[in-house]
Amino acid sequence: MANGNGNGNGNGGTPKPPDKKPTAQKDPKPVDVEGMKHLAEVKRHKDLVISSADVLSQRLWEQGRVEFARNLMALAYAHDVSKFQGIEWRELRRSKTKSDDEEDKKTAFIAFRHHQEANPHHPEHWGGVNNMPEIHIAEMVCDMHARSSEIGTDLRGYVKTVFLKKHNITTRGKPYRKMKEFIDLLLDPPLAKME
């Protein structure tokens, strides 16, 4: 009681903080750069699909297809959500899908099949494009448009040279006519030829 306050620390009644022992610094977890890049790629693709759906929805809305346009936008916001988790997150990374390793190829294939079956904008989900509801054909067109901008290809050319053959459909069938209708609405009309 040397200072008269009874705590014996001599600082006018303010308790002295306890001595802090230096704590060992933990090594920070290494940053998953590959995972960050993959997240950016998935997000970029979703953003492009949303952008495509926005254009298509506006044009459908102008035609009076209001509910269809709203439903398309809702699908666009939920597009490819399965890529953020599970086998798709782990295995659908560019480094895995481009690998020469047979085990990587096998698991990437399984992950891609899972993606197709879990997402109704893929014909495989329905057992073929002929069985797809119109709303999912519209989302598929937005998905293909997004992918074509990512890799620098022509959407119409891709549909005619790859998609029709891959899915065994003709230009006279209903699925192609629906796809063409959505593609034509989505893409700006070609510029008039200059004379």
**46 closest CA partner among 82, 12, 92, 10:** 82
Q: Is the separation of the CB atoms in 60 and 68 below 8 Å?
A: yes
Dist. CA 54–CA 92, nearest whole Å: 26
Per the structure, the count of domains in the chain is 1
pLDDT of residue 69: 98
Q: Report, as an integer, the average pLDDT of 138-161.
A: 93
Structural domain boundaries enclosing 65: 33-80+119-186
**Given pLDDT bands bounded at 50, 70 and 90, which one contains residue 45?**
very high
**Given pLDDT bands bounded at 50, 70 and 90, which one contains residue 102?**
confident
| Model confidence, pTM | 0.79
pLDDT of residue 146: 95
**143 closest CA partner among 120, 110, 167, 172:** 120
In a domain, 60, yes or no: yes
In a domain, 125, yes or no: yes
**183 closest CA partner among 193, 175, 195:** 175
In a domain, 113, yes or no: no
